[in-house]
Amino acid sequence: MRKKLFFVTYFFLITNLFAQWFWQNPIPQGNTLNAIQMLNTNIGFTVGDLGTVLKTTNSGETWTQIYLGTTINFYSIHFVDKEVGYIIGGSGTFFKTIDGGTTWQTLNIGITLNFFSIYFVNKDTGYVCGYYGYILKTTDGGITWERKNSKTINTLNKIHFVNKNLGFAIGKEGTITRTTDGGNNWKGITVGLTTELKSICFVDDSTGWVLGKPGNIYNTTDGGLTWNGQLTNALGNLSSLWFFDKNNGRAFGFFDNFTSDGGKTWRDIHTGNDFNSVTFSDQFNGWGVGGYGKITRTADGGKTWRMLNSSFYDYFYSVYFINKSVGWVGTMMTTNGGSTWTKILDRVSVWKIYFKDEKTGFIVNDKVLRTTNGGETWDTLFSNSTSSIMSASFIDSCIWLVSGSKIIKTSDEGKNWEEVTVEGAKSLRSIFFIDKQIGWVVGVLGVIGKSMDGGNSWTIQTSGTQNRLWSIYFTDKNNGWMCGESGTILHTSNGGEKWNVQTTGTTLMLRSIYFVDNQHGWTVGDSGTILKTTNGGAEWIKQKSVTTNDLYDVFFIDANTGWAVGINSTILKTTNGGVTFVEDEKNNLPTDFVLYQNYPNPFNPSTVISWQLAVGSHVQLKVYDVLGREVATLVNEFQQAGKYVWTFHGTSLSSGVYFYTLIAGSKIETKKMILIK
């Protein structure tokens, strides 16, 4: 059955813009990338989780993020030529560009299933495949779609056409389904019930290969009528395949496999790249993408790879800033608010980091390390060989550590240490002192302990929960909060004599909580969860995170500027408290003329400018420097009433303050933006 569908957006429509949390590591972002296509040696696109779309115009050296207003995962991208391209993703999400990715239109594919692959043989005729063996075909550039009988109910991961008639779709349980009439009729075969096929490559109408989990490769020399196993149970799963000719090919996974005899023999090279997708422009130049925003390039046919995105890889469990510019995440230091980072210590895990000033700081893991020269050298103040130190609290020369059921403390900055057992507690997880005398600890089974004498003795308080408590924070002697598993947040207003449950709206683990005053606070946790309160926790609002990585720590300098860090090298920052950059709009037309503040700001090298028009009018969007000189005209055309977004690239400009002005009929508005390189 054919269904008529219509374009519903123009430009990069964003009805639900992301909260103002943005990536500081990895750069440009850290979400998993699922597919990449290079249109030539210079221009390419990659797509991934949470609506991620990136474009490069310089062979991948730098990437610009394109915001399409969705957090749906994108799984596949295909350009027919340098102008016409398509993106497909979860829940039938489907985008099209006809100007090389400058603007995108969203189309309704009509079915809210996950589609994992898209392929067009020309500008009009294309195919998608996904769950339950679904294959859809369009002959009008994606406006209407017709379902075809794939002859399978197995999930199909990849669709590929050798020519306009011969095509294949591959997927779970070794499924290969084949068409010879342009996708109207399909015939399925199975090459191995234990194999999930992930990638397919043909060098001509007869010769091709497929590969997949758990490291199997199959070859055909008769156009897909029969398939023969070439490699079985290679080291690690294989995810992407590329052949330059009938002899020379590459199979990529955690181990990369090379062949020079058409796949009769393969040799593996351990690279650790673990790509999701690989593309080559010739036999030497290739690009690969994968987890955690990884983008790499090879110039020698895949023998060696160079990381393209600006990143340092680690798991981050602690963040601390002494002002808006100077701060630390793990063993990394920044002096410009996180725009760039410098490593201050190698090969050390960090559970807690704290600095008194730029020179004097502490790192806690199974040891307590101190620097007095900004990290150039470190002294060991304490070493614990029996169990890990899970948390620490610092006030002047006093340090308190948590290890198992014990508190290890010093009042002279590490010259002397003593241990105190918290009776009735085990597996303590977090400690917080508000001054040199009053402090609290929390741990498993809802345990809360309070000390009134600097940690010499502890009294167990009643939490009212059996959930594991992970983090605790107090703003004064009376007001405190703690968070933990199953979305637990407890609050006290009397120093812990009574704890009250606060509603969070999540059942995920919350791993860190921080308040800048008695009203404004944040908590972060698993799957990228970020919650904020502006009324002391009476109401917690979920913020729109830009990651699904687990977040382990959050820190704010004031009500606007803060950082959240976590696994897979995640560092996020906000400069407006994380509130929604543009509040969710209803599906009606705008009633006002509005020019929004660019996002992010400051920026490098690109930023997004958005506006809305209540009535259609001729629109000009221009950028000026501080002397009033015009440096760019971004838009100069008639636009209908609606919402619009433009990505401004400042690659050719020097650092400084710039102004962007929107003129729509008689309406004029100007805003300031800052470029930092």
Instruction: State pLDDT tens for residues 464-523.
Output: 999 999 999 999 999 999 999 999 999 999 999 999 999 999 999 999 999 999 999 999
Per-residue model confidence (pLDDT) at position 305 = 92
**Band (587; pLDDT cuts 50, 70, 90):** very low
Among 92, 56, 55, 60, which residue's Cα sits nearest to residue 73? Answer: 92
Distances in Å between the Cα of 143 and the Cα atoms of 95, 107, 109, 124, 138 are 11, 7, 8, 9, 7
Residues 6+ apart with CB under 8 A from 652: none
Per-residue model confidence (pLDDT) at position 580 = 52
Burial of 188 (0-12, 13-18, 19+ CB in 10 A): middle
Q: Of the residues 265, 299, 333, which one is the last residue of a structural domain?
A: 299
Among 11, 14, 9, 22, which residue's Cα sits nearest to residue 544? Answer: 22
C-beta of residue 420 within 8 angstroms of C-beta of residue 457: yes
**Band (235; pLDDT cuts 50, 70, 90):** low
- For residue range 85-97, list pLDDT tens digits in order: 999 999 999 999 9
Tokens of 290: 């994968």
Please name every residue paired with 662 in a beta bridge, in sequence order, or none if there are none.
621, 669
| Structural domain contains residue 1 | no
3-state secondary structure of 446: helix
HEC secondary structure over 82-146: CCCEEEEEHHHEEEEECCCCCCCEEEECCCCCCEEEEEECCCCCEEEEEHHHCEEEECCCCCCCE
| Structural domain contains residue 235 | yes
pLDDT at 383 over 60: yes
Phi, psi at 33, each rounded to 5°: -100, 130
Residue where the block lists tokens 């169990």: 387
**Band (18; pLDDT cuts 50, 70, 90):** very low
| Structural domain contains residue 36 | yes
Per-residue model confidence (pLDDT) at position 12 = 40
Say if residue 623 is in the same domain as residue 481: no
CB atoms within 10 A of CB 642: 16
**Band (232; pLDDT cuts 50, 70, 90):** low
Among 404, 470, 393, which residue's Cα sits nearest to residue 437? Answer: 393
Say if residue 335 is in the same domain as residue 191: no
pLDDT at 4 over 60: no
Per-residue model confidence (pLDDT) at position 233 = 60
> CA–CA separation, 331 vs 315, rounded Å?
10
Per-residue model confidence (pLDDT) at position 107 = 85
pLDDT at 13 over 90: no
Say if residue 272 is in the same domain as residue 334: no
| Structural domain contains residue 21 | no
| Structural domain contains residue 109 | yes
- At 198, which CATH number? 2.130.10.10
Residue 622 or residue 190, greater confidence: 622
| Structural domain contains residue 135 | yes
Say if residue 545 is in the same domain as residue 642: no
Among 1, 66, 2, 3, which residue's Cα sits nearest to residue 29? Answer: 66
For a pLDDT cut of 90, what percent of the chain falls above it? Answer: 73
Distances in Å between the Cα of 235 and the Cα atoms of 208, 249, 252, 495 are 22, 17, 11, 56
What's the mean pLDDT when you consider all of the chain?
Answer: 90
**pTM of the model as a whole:** 0.81
Domain of residue 628 covers 594-675
- For residue range 537-550, list pLDDT tens digits in order: 999 999 989 999 99
Full strand arrangement of the beta sheet holding 480-484: 469-474, 480-484, 489-492, 500-502
Residue where the block lists tokens 């101190």: 370
> CA–CA separation, 48 vs 119, rounded Å?
17
| Angle at alpha carbon of residue 339, lines to 337 and 340, rounded to 5° | 110
> CA–CA separation, 209 vs 221, rounded Å?
9
Tell me the average pLDDT across 161-178: 97
The structural domain count of the chain equals 3
Tokens of 20: 């103002």
> CA–CA separation, 546 vs 543, rounded Å?
10
- For residue range 323-351, list pLDDT tens digits in order: 999 999 999 999 999 999 999 998 788 99
Q: E-strand spans in 567-664?
A: 571-574, 594-595, 606-613, 617-625, 630-639, 642-649, 656-664
* Strand-pair category, 469-474 with 93-97: unpaired
Per-residue model confidence (pLDDT) at position 647 = 81
| Structural domain contains residue 580 | no
Per-residue model confidence (pLDDT) at position 354 = 97
**Band (666; pLDDT cuts 50, 70, 90):** confident
- For residue range 549-568, list pLDDT tens digits in order: 999 999 999 999 999 999 99
Burial of 117 (0-12, 13-18, 19+ CB in 10 A): buried
> CA–CA separation, 534 vs 583, rounded Å?
17
**Band (387; pLDDT cuts 50, 70, 90):** confident
- For residue range 31-63, list pLDDT tens digits in order: 999 999 999 999 999 999 999 999 999 999 999
> CA–CA separation, 65 vs 606, rounded Å?
8
- For residue range 437-462, list pLDDT tens digits in order: 999 999 999 999 999 999 999 999 99
Say if residue 566 is in the same domain as residue 608: no
Length of the chain as a residue count = 677
- At 609, which CATH number? 2.60.40.3080
pLDDT winner (highest mean) among 230-239, 261-270, 503-512: 503-512
Phi, psi at 218, each rounded to 5°: -125, 150
Phi, psi at 574, each rounded to 5°: -130, 150
pLDDT winner (highest mean) among 188-202, 350-364, 646-660: 350-364
> CA–CA separation, 115 vs 59, rounded Å?
28
Q: Of the residues 574, 608, 634, which one is the last residue of a structural domain?
A: 574
> CA–CA separation, 482 vs 188, rounded Å?
56
Per-residue model confidence (pLDDT) at position 275 = 92
Among 567, 670, 20, 578, which residue's Cα sits nearest to residue 313? Answer: 567
